[in-house]
Amino acid sequence: MQTQIHEAVAAIRRITDATPHIGIILGTGLGQLVNKVSIQHRIPYTDIPHFPAATVESHQGYLIFGQLGGKPVVVMQGRFHYYEGYSMQQITLPVRVMKLLGIRKLFISNAAGGLNPDYQLSDLMALNDHINLLPENPLRGPNMNDFGPRFPDMYKPYDETLLEQAGQLAETLGFPLRKGVYASVTGPNLETPAEYRYLRIIGADAVGMSTVPEALVARHMNLPVFAVSVITDMGTPEGVEHVTLEKVLAAAAQAEPKLTALIEALVATQTED
């Protein structure tokens, strides 16, 4: 795995010597943030050794280098999921690569089902904790000591300073930013009503099929993480209904201007430390 990581970095370095400070992973239906990026290089995943292919139709497949909010960034336009058949190590390889390219913080977005009855469709929820219900862990196996410790602490998986900054920015931008617990499940099916009830009972405010593997690997490398969910369907007792990808994408599209404004503003506030 370490050999694959370094080979991917070497291939990217033959194309660009950019040193991004912030890595951004864009989730389902949330790819339009790249329109705000002053793009210097757009590299197809297929041109990077050992990068998986994005197989979900709503995900592009590009690693984008450029400037956002006056800061150097690298953006994953399209991510990978366990349900696509990839291993956890494959899913999180790009996070390792971005770290070696120079990122100091990782921002993650996703589409999620809302479990908290106070939430509404197209709300944004910043993660302040998570529940990992995935059957595998990207840190399983021999520890890569060059990246981090065998037993990384997860007391505060999502950076409190970034959470506070995001809340203040959302208020300034004129919309509420929820804060809650994200449960990560395998997918690709959505949950049954009984599963939604179970997830709410164990303390989740939203449920999705991503983000936690990337957050685990980032924290293993001591990268501060900010993650935000767009609530694209409701799993509350009164809100459960037949859901299609089209409905999810429509809800994501409605929220996307808010998410784009928030991420751009949050990137712009980051200092060089």
pLDDT in tens, 149-187: 999 999 999 999 999 999 999 999 999 999 999 999 999
CB 107 within 8 A of CB 186: no
Model confidence, pTM: 0.96
What residue segments make up the domains of the chain, in order of their start? 2-269
3-state secondary structure 103-166: CCEEEEEEEEEECCCCCCCCCEEEEEEEEECCCCCCCCCCCCCCCCCCCCCCCCCCCHHHHHHH
Instruction: Please tell me the distance from the alpha carbon of residue 84 to that of residue 138, in angstroms, as a whole number.
Output: 15
* pLDDT tens figures, 101-155: 999 999 999 999 999 999 999 999 999 999 999 999 999 999 999 999 999 999 9
Among residues 73, 14, 82, the alpha carbon closest in space to that of 49 is found at 14
To which H or E segment does residue 194 belong? helix 193-201
- CATH fold, domain 2-269, is Rossmann fold (3.40.50)
Instruction: Please tell me the distance from the alpha carbon of residue 129 to that of residue 15, in angstroms, as a whole number.
Output: 37
Position 59 pLDDT exceeds 80: no
